[in-house]
Amino acid sequence: MSLPMSGYNLTEEQIELAGLVRSFADEVVAPASYEADRTKTLPMDVVAQMGDMGLFGLPFPEEVGGQGGDYVTLGLAIEALARVDQSIAITLEAGVSLGAMPIFRFGTDAQRKEYLPDLLAGRALAGFGLTEPEAGSDAGATRTTAKLDGGEWVIDGAKQFITNSGTSITRFVTVTAVTGSSDDAKREISTIIVPRGTPGFTVGPAYDKVGWHASDTHPLVFSGARVPEANLLGERGRGFANFLHILDEGRIAIAALATGAAEGCLEAAVDYAKTRVVFGESLGSRQSIQFMLARMQQRVHVSRLAWLHAARLRDAGRPFKTEAAIAKLTSSDAAMDNARDATQIFGGNGFMNEYPVARHFRDSKILEVGEGTTEVQLLLIARSLGLA
């Protein structure tokens, strides 16, 4: 078992919320996780229950329909879910950080009024269209274009690996697109809301992924898709800069998710080591296994400290870009290392998908890639040191 949450200087309300979500994860999410993974199906009944609990509205003010919490509280919920099912955790993380937060941060009053109530209640989800076939880590190289014609944006291009883009409750996707160029030939990138069902907007078949099987992920194609000029999200030409800020916040949430994954591996490995008998003794009685589990505990603790620190800086209105990168780097490494060690402790059983450590082993790799690769985090940290 990981260190008690009371040791992290949390408020009573935050500890209570973390315990509530952990119970929900153990009693509702975990029993359904294997079948959801096997059938590659996002259980919408679980998503609905998360909405009823107010999880999608956690870091938003009450005046817009949120719960009045902060990013620490959101991270605690995501971490608790990721212990047992990363697909469910990323559905919440993306629903908040990539779906609702751009509308809250940059939307007009009309856009907020139209979209936020359903997004924050979990009745709707939204996708975040940034990555393209030719623009991944270099997202500024986007080739998707949007041109004004008769008071409408005409969008052409493609996006890939877009989470929450094809569920039964997906209402729209926001996409970055080139909307012009400045006098110095610098490309102008803006962000536009494209509702589901827009003619010329096609959601491709779901990906056959290595992990996160129950998470909804699709490619998107835009061929002359027309939306009103008022669907511009934020200031024209500020789309890429705005989404870099959104990604910084998202990295905190992903770090919390990765910490939960690392913790889930630890919990499963400790339980297995205590009950598995080898040569007449429990596996956990062997010092080599004890040391392996001790290092797993160390990784969980350090990862939690890292994302909590970044989240607290963010909540206090202080710069957190570097700390978010450190948190994501630390926790994604921890998730992969703990998944590997837990699988080793489980032996042959660790290779069977019915065991959660096998799913964590498959799921955790994307944590070193999504929302900024390990190399991008290293680059950001190096830049903070004044290195070109």
| Residues recognised as catalytic | 371
Please give the backbone phi and psi of residue 58, each rounded to the nearest 5 degrees, phi first: -55, -50
Cα 87-353-336 angle, rounded to 5 deg: 60
**Contacts for 177 with CB less than 8 Å, ≥ 6 apart:** 142, 144, 145, 146, 153, 155, 157, 189, 190, 191, 192, 239
**Type of residue numbered 261:** A
What are 256's two structure tokens?
Answer: 């919390």
Asked if 233 and 239 count as a contact pair (C-beta separation under 8 A), the reply is: yes
Cα dihedral 110, 116, 118, 122 in deg (nearest 10): 170
3-class DSSP string for 303-357: HHHHHHHHHHHHHCCCCCHHHHHHHHHHHHHHHHHHHHHHHHHHHHHHHCCCCHH
Q: Do the strands 277-278 and 170-181 form a parallel or antiparallel pair, or are they unpaired?
A: unpaired
Cα dihedral 306, 293, 87, 116 in deg (nearest 10): -30
What stretch of H or E contains 183? none
Nearest to 51 by CA among 66, 41, 70: 66
* Cβ count within 10 A of residue 146: 29
Burial (CB count within 10 angstroms: exposed 0-12, middle 13-18, buried 19+), residue 210? exposed
Nearest to 363 by CA among 127, 71, 83, 4: 83
